[in-house]
Amino acid sequence: MKTASDPRHRQRIRFMQDLFTASFQKEMPPSIKFIWDKLGEIDPLIAASAPEWPLNKLNPIDLAILRLAVYELVIDKKAPYKVIIDEAVELAKQFGGDASPAFINGALGNIISHDIST
């Protein structure tokens, strides 16, 4: 069971925070270069999963959480998708707004259902 002290959870928090920070700066922290370099693949998937919310209109925390989760789901593929979605929803509960957990869950669910059906 995941706890706040789980090193994988803490690492996801750091990546999410660095992705959030990078969205406001011209320079990207080296810790997320491997994710940032894949935004050309990640961002179109996010945009397609929530077409009513253009990326520039998304809450920056939600966008950071989605970028991390989509990276893990589509590129990294080391963790089961249920674990990735659960972690993303937990991050949304901890750092996002009231609607963030449901939004994150729905967007990632759309990506998973599309990925499975193709």
Task: Judge whether 106 and 69 are in contact, CB under 8 Å.
Answer: no
pLDDT tens across 37-62, in order?
999 999 999 999 998 889 999 999 99
Tally Cβ neighbours within 10 Å of residue 25: 8
pLDDT tens across 81-97, in order?
999 999 999 999 999 99
Backbone angles phi, psi at 11, to 5 degrees: -65, -40
Fold adopted by 8-22+29-117: N-utilizing Substance Protein B Homolog; Chain A (1.10.940)
Domain boundaries, the chain: 8-22+29-117
The reported pTM is 0.91
State which amino acid sits at residue 7.
Answer: P
